[in-house]
Structures are given as structure tokens and as C-alpha cells.
Amino acid sequence: MSKIRRVIDRMKAGEDLGIDRTAQKGRQRTINADGSYNMERKTGRLLGNFYLYHWLITASWSHYWLVVFGFYGIMNVIFASIYYFIGVDQLSGAEGSTPAIQLMHCFFFSAESFTTVGYGGIFPVGRMANLVATLEAFTGLMTFALATGTLYGRFSKPVSRIKYSKNAIFAPYKDITGLQFMVANETSSSLMEMEARVSISWMEDDGTGNMIRRFAQVPLEIDKIALFPTSWILNHPIDEESVLYGRSVEEIKRMDLEIYVLLKGFDDVFSQTIYNRHSYLVEDFIYGAKFRKPWLINDQGRIVMDLTKVGDYDLVKLPVMEMV
């Protein structure tokens, strides 16, 4: 039985990553650098996989505020137009010498009604205007309730800010070689009970001339730490039990290797478990390197963590027996 087959047979039940095993030419990375999945979903729905609440919770802040203010402005323009076409005479105090001034007064009245402020300078006197104002006040209340809920949801959602080294390196480890990458906590929140799970996928011939993608979870030197105040180098020892053992640089490149990283920890600020994902491709590998420490001790004896140096490395020689 081949070494690779022994590695695959040792995989526990339930360790399948749920990713297609077929090997296709030009296949892109499975997990983007920001942790999102690099895939397109076809649902057959008119809006595809778009769900408004999910989007409002996960969109960037700039896009979120653009939608909120845009919706607020558009709704006021719509109601202002309705008031104008009903007749400005049904809004006491909205009179003006020109249509533009009258429309502006309608817009301001709409904003006051939509937010239920009601200054009283302009008020409806006609039946139709009162009905529209009643509908707008209700719409405004519901809109601001939903906006408040999504805003709270964005602030209350636990977010893991984990910085990964740009590269995964093949570094000297004891008398062999280790596949390593570095992670660090970008926030001042205390993460604890951090766990790491690293899997790799590669392409190989299934014995019938067809190329398939294999998956395996790789063992780490340390896969769990109690505290995470500075940085953490995750190291996979490339020993006789590793899929990468005895592989040359050229062989590893031909394997179209991809590394999947899943981090799990407890955030004491949110009192919730957080997760974070990342991946590395062959072009992210550095063969023969050693990470530098991204932190130092200042003159007062305090640890100073420099997040800009996470992933910095020095080139070194690898053991000849591992990488030829």
C-alpha cells in the first residue's frame, strides 16, 4: 500500500471538507484570503442568493450607510412627489412662489413625517394629504425599527480579526522540515482556547489515468493554545507520516497543493465562540525560510506587538534529506 493511501485511510470519518474532488484545469482557490468562499451559487431565484437582512449584516460599512441614506432620500422624494401632485393647497405652510419652492416644502414635510418629528410649520389640512401622511409615518416607524435592528446586529456580531502571514513557508524544524504559517490577533480583545485545524488538498492520478483531488487533515505540532496575546506559528512536521514527505519543490508545485485553515476560539468581549478561515496556494509558498518574531520587549519591559511585521521571514537552507 502506498504512503499516500495510508495517509488517506487514516482520515477519520467526517473529515471531508465538502468540496468537489474533481480536478479541473484552471481551478481557482476555494477560500479567498478574507475567509469567504470563492464560489458562485445558482439558485434559480430572480435575486439569486441575495437576502436583504443577511446583506445588511455582512456588507461593508460604506455600502451599508449608502443603502440606508439612499433609501431614506428616495422614500422622501417619492412621498414629496405624492404631496405635490395631490396639491400643495392641502399642506398648510407649504405655499411658495415657484413650483420648485413648493416641491422643496413638500420634501421637508415628508422628512418630518417620515421621522415622526412634526415641527408643525407645515401640516396637512386635506383628507388625502392626511391619509398619505399617516401612511408615511407608519412606513417611517417600520423603516427606522428595521434600520436600528440591523445596526445593532452589525455592532453585536462577533468579528474575528485574525491576521495571517502572507506566505506559508517550508522551514527547518528539528532535523526535518516543517510547513508553517503565522497568525496574530489584530484586536485588543482577549482570545482564548484557540484551536487550529489544517487540511490540505492535492491532485493525483486515481490509477485509471483520471486526475482527482485528494483531501487530508494534517497533524500540527501544537493545535491548541490557552491564550493568544501575540502571535502563533502553526507548524506541520513533514515526517514519514506526511503526504509531503520526500517531495521535491517541483513535485509539490505539480500537486497543485492548497492549504485550508480553520481557527476557532473564545472571545471574552462578546462571550461567544468565533471562527476564522483562510487558505494558501502553491504560489504563496516560500521554500527555505524562517519567520521573524513580530514582537519585542521595550525599555519598560513591556511586550510590543508589531502587526506590520507578521509574516516577515529570513531565507535559510532546508535539510537536504527533505527537499532536494
* Region class of 13: left (phi > 0), else alpha (psi between -120 and 50), else beta: beta
Would you state the pLDDT for residue 229?
83
Q: Tell me which of 105, 129, 156 is where a domain ends.
A: 156
Give the per-residue pLDDT at 25. 46
Domain contains 322: no
| Amino acid type, 116 | T
Q: Which amino acid is at 314?
A: D
What string of pLDDT tens digits covers the 324 residues of the chain?
455 445 444 444 334 555 555 545 455 666 666 666 666 666 666 766 677 888 888 888 899 999 999 999 999 999 999 999 998 888 888 787 888 998 999 999 999 999 988 887 888 888 899 999 999 999 999 999 999 999 988 887 777 788 999 999 999 998 899 999 999 988 777 788 999 999 988 888 777 777 788 888 899 999 999 988 888 999 999 988 888 888 888 888 888 888 989 999 998 877 888 888 899 988 899 999 999 999 888 888 888 888 899 999 999 988 764 443
The count of domains in the chain is: 2
pLDDT recorded at residue 8: 46
Residues 223 and 245 in one domain: yes
Is residue 2 situated within a structural domain? Answer: no
Last residue of a domain, one of 117, 140, 156: 156
| CB-based contact 181:194 (threshold 8 Å) | no
Determine whether 307 is exposed, middle or buried from the number of CB atoms within 10 Å of its CB (0-12, 13-18, 19+): middle
Shared domain for 164 and 150, answered yes or no, is no
For residue 44, being part of any structural domain is answered with no
- CATH for 164: 2.60.40.1400
Domain with 111 in it: what CATH number? Answer: 1.10.287.70
Residues 141, 257: one domain?
A: no
Q: Is residue 196 part of a domain?
A: yes
Give the pLDDT score at 226. 92
Q: Are residues 141 and 100 in the same domain?
A: yes
User: Are both 132 and 167 inside the same structural domain?
Assistant: no
User: Percent helix, strand and coil across the chain, each rounded to 5?
Assistant: 30, 30, 40
User: In terms of domains, do 220 and 234 share one?
Assistant: yes
Residues 309 and 294: beta-carbon distance below 8 Å: yes
Query: What per-residue confidence (pLDDT) applies to 264?
Result: 92
On whether both 177 and 309 belong to a single domain, the answer is: yes
In a domain, 134, yes or no: yes
Q: Tell me which of 97, 121, 156 is where a domain ends.
A: 156
Domain presence at residue 40: no
Residues 184, 64 within the same domain? no
Q: Are 258 and 288 in contact (CB under 8 A)?
A: no
Same domain, 301 and 173: yes
Asked if residue 36 is part of any domain, the answer here is no
Domain that holds residue 148: 52-156
Q: Are residues 148 and 201 in the same domain?
A: no
Other Cβ atoms closer than 10 A to 8: 13
Are residue 267 and residue 137 in the same domain, yes or no?
Answer: no
Same domain, 124 and 135: yes
Q: Show Cβ contacts of residue 112 under 8 Å, excluding neighbours closer than 6 positions.
A: 118, 119, 122
Domain annotation covers residue 213: yes
